[in-house]
């Protein structure tokens, strides 16, 4: 499993409640790979490279809490390693139906990945 630890030197804050956290270089997350992102508050996200498009979701499966960043990514579908639940990482939808994952916008800027939380 890959892992990103956000660069807090680049932690940005504006007047709203949206924060953009720099998580690392896009080239470090190749197509078809996923990685865990540890947030400053201890929470975790999962970030995915789907054919060059980056997506981020909460990291813990809503079934029993397995880390989705350790699941199997096939196209835009992540399969949880514990019991096989599947989610579309583009929108968080459970396949075919079930609890939805929270998703987060990913920004690619000059080769650097940022997630809005």
Q: Which residues of this protein are in contact with ligand FES, per CB under 6 A? A: 61, 63-66, 80, 82-85
Residue nearer to ligand FES on the CB measure, 65 or 111:
65
Q: State residue 10 phi and psi, 5-degree precision.
A: -100, 10
Contact 86, 92 (CB under 8 A): no
Q: Which is nearer to ligand FES, 39 or 66 (CB)?
A: 66
User: Measured from the CB of residue 85, what is the shortest distance to ligand FES in angstroms?
Assistant: 4
Closest to ligand FES by CB, 37 or 80 = 80
Minimum CB separation of residue 1 from ligand FES in Å reads 15
Beta strand 2-4 with 34-38 is parallel
Residues 6 or more apart in contact with residue 15 via CB below 8 angstroms = none
* Beta carbons within 8 Å of 21's beta carbon, 6+ residues apart: 6, 8, 10, 11, 37, 39, 40, 114, 115, 117
Q: How far is the CB of 84 from ligand FES (least distance, A)?
A: 6
Nearer to ligand FES, 23 or 61 (CB): 61
Q: How far is the CB of 13 from ligand FES (least distance, A)?
A: 33
């Amino acid at each position: 499993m890959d892992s990103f630890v956000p660069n807090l030197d680049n932690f940005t804050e504006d007047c709203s409640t949206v924060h953009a956290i720099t998580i690392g270089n896009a080239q470090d997350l190749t197509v078809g790979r996923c990685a865990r992102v540890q947030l400053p508050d201890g929470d975790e996200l999962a970030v995915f490279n789907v054919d060059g498009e980056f997506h981020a979701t909460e990291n813990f499966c809503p079934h029993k809490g397995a880390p989705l960043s350790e699941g199997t990514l096939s196209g835009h579908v992540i399969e949880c390693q514990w019991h096989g639940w599947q989610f579309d990482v583009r929108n968080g939808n459970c396949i075919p139906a079930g609890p939805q994952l929270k998703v987060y916008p990913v920004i690619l800027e000059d080769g650097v990945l940022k997630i809005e939380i």
